Amino acid sequence: MYGLKRAVGLGLLLALSGTALAKEPPQKPWNVVVILVDDLGATDLGCTGSRFYETPHIDRLASQGMRFTQGYAACTVCSPTRAALLTGKYPARLHLTDWIPGHVRPRAKLRIPDWRMYLPLEELTLAERLHEAGYATAHVGKWHLGDPPYFPQHQGFDLNIGGTQWGSPGSYFWPYGKADRRVPLEGGHEGEYLTDRLTDEAMKFITANKGKPFFLYFAHYAVHTPLQAKEQLVRYYEKKLAEANARGDNLNGQQCPVYAAMIHSLDQSVGRILETLDSLQLTERTIVIFTSDNGGLVLPACQKRPVTHNIGLRAGKGSAYEGGVRVPWIIRWPGVTAPGSVSHQPIMTIDLYPTVLDMLGLADDPSHHSDGISVANVLRGEGSLPDRALFWHYPHYHPGGATPYSAVRHGDWKYIHFYEDNHGELYNLKDDPQESQDLTDRFPQKAAQLRAVLEKWLKEVDAQLPTPNPDYQPE
């Protein structure tokens, strides 16, 4: 179906451009592996500051590529970020602004807009662009972008392994839930763990396509709830936590053994993918991108304790604050990006699409509007990104307590507009990354300036706004 959806620009995409920089080694076309983790916080890795979670393989990936300290998700919840990754467009432009099917509060102060609960087939996805350019394409893991008519096989992917409409598995252990909510994987066995099984499937795809360019979109269900992990790993982290507490170690609020064990399995998965690339001699021509769909979950879902803590950042998943949208970003581009490099330039999920096209030397389709920009020159070590603002729009209520908001970041400044009481908050992220000091009264002109920028953008993307609810009943 995807081949019939869009023919514009096909001729431009059938071959790789010959305009790549001379410093990029001549070779076969690049392969692309995108690893998207669910609910992984910005500081949930060893290389980003965790003292409790162990992530040696992901840390090694960072040491071999570039880590972005100010990487963002396009939304504070999952489905919108996934849509942004595949289209390069803001969720507000797509009218896909909440996790599917969302959180309903019929008596809330505001009525949420009639938003879209699927990724439109009319959108030209990154998978379609690469498929048209001769790439084998596979989606492995979580999809969460609509019902069966909108599944990966209709959006540019040759294979859909494990993708369905659900945002979380019924269980992380075989058979992965009951009939009304399970991950569609067959041929498993008792005790089989979902992260491991999906990794097996991803490795099979890489091996089967080692002789041609491939695009693997590996979207983990982990580390989303339900919190379930392999018992041996849970016991390991229970012991580690007990020993740390006995010594009086400061773990910065990261103290959930089950969550730590889930991250451990995730890290092992990344290690197995990297090992597969090594064993097939594909490492030197495979781009690996690692990121998360939103910030870490801080709700007390781990034996009445927070699942994780986004160290040095305020709040978590669902929130307008940095803990809800700041996420890990690691890109390894062998022979091009300096190993162990670190960038402090802000990037976002919307940038992945144009960046991949640029890295592959593929011509852009002028009929496709992308809100993102390529960060390939930063990866090449050739300058900085152009001055721009980054935006978020969440006209919804989140189970964690967040109310409808829109936000903008420009330079060091961030402005958040909350719709329930029509008030704004202003922060300087350079001086106050924890967003503890609202500077609206101190810098009213800056607040007004950023609010104007935000309002202009909302109109440009035709953002859907919440409206007064005639059925409102105060709690």
- Give the tens place of pLDDT for each residue, 234-252: 999 999 999 999 999 999 9
pTM above the 0.85 mark?
yes
Structure confidence at residue 368 (pLDDT)? 82
Please identify which of the residues 75, 78, 256, 302 carries the catalytic annotation: 78
Active site residue 78: yes
Within a domain: residue 411?
no
Tokens of 255: 């103290």
> H or E segment at 243?
helix 231-247
User: Measured between alpha carbons, how far is 407 from 348 in angstroms, rounded to an integer?
Assistant: 14
Within a domain: residue 182?
yes
pLDDT tens for the chain, 475 residues long, are: 544 444 434 343 333 333 333 345 546 899 999 999 999 999 999 999 999 999 999 999 999 999 999 999 999 999 999 999 999 999 999 999 999 999 889 999 999 999 999 999 999 999 999 999 999 999 999 999 999 999 999 999 999 999 999 999 999 999 999 887 899 999 999 999 999 999 999 999 999 999 999 999 999 999 999 999 999 999 999 999 999 999 999 999 999 999 999 999 999 999 999 999 999 999 999 999 999 999 999 999 998 999 999 999 999 999 999 999 999 999 999 999 999 999 999 999 999 999 999 999 998 776 787 899 999 999 999 989 999 999 999 999 999 999 999 999 999 999 999 999 999 999 999 999 999 999 999 999 999 999 999 999 999 999 999 999 999 999 8
- The pLDDT tens digits of the residues spanning 178-204 come to 887 899 999 999 999 999 999 999 999
If we measure between CA atoms, which residue out of 402, 427, 425, 434 comes closest to residue 412? 427
If we measure between CA atoms, which residue out of 79, 39, 54, 6 comes closest to residue 221? 39
Please identify which of the residues 144, 264, 309, 417 carries the catalytic annotation: 144
Q: CATH number of the domain at 376, please.
A: 3.40.720.10
Residue 307, class by beta-carbon neighbours within 10 Å (0-12 exposed, 13-18 middle, 19+ buried)? buried
Within a domain: residue 3?
no
Structure confidence at residue 179 (pLDDT)? 80
Within a domain: residue 48?
yes
Within a domain: residue 177?
yes
> Do residues 319 and 295 lie in contact, with contact meaning Cβ atoms separated by under 8 Å?
yes
Residue 59 structural domain: 30-386
Structure confidence at residue 155 (pLDDT)? 98
Tokens of 235: 């016991």
User: Measured between alpha carbons, how far is 9 from 364 in angstroms, rounded to an integer?
Assistant: 8
Query: How does DSSP classify residue 26?
Result: P
Structure confidence at residue 383 (pLDDT)? 87
Within a domain: residue 315?
yes
User: Measured between alpha carbons, how far is 466 from 102 in angstroms, rounded to an integer?
Assistant: 14
Structure confidence at residue 147 (pLDDT)? 97
If we measure between CA atoms, which residue out of 298, 472, 312, 471 comes closest to residue 401? 298
Tokens of 42: 């910005």
Within a domain: residue 430?
no
Within a domain: residue 378?
yes
Neighbours of 58 (CB within 10 A): 28
Place of tokens 């096909």: 10
Helix (H, G, I), strand (E, B) or coil at 106: coil
Domain count for the chain? 1
Active site residue 144: yes
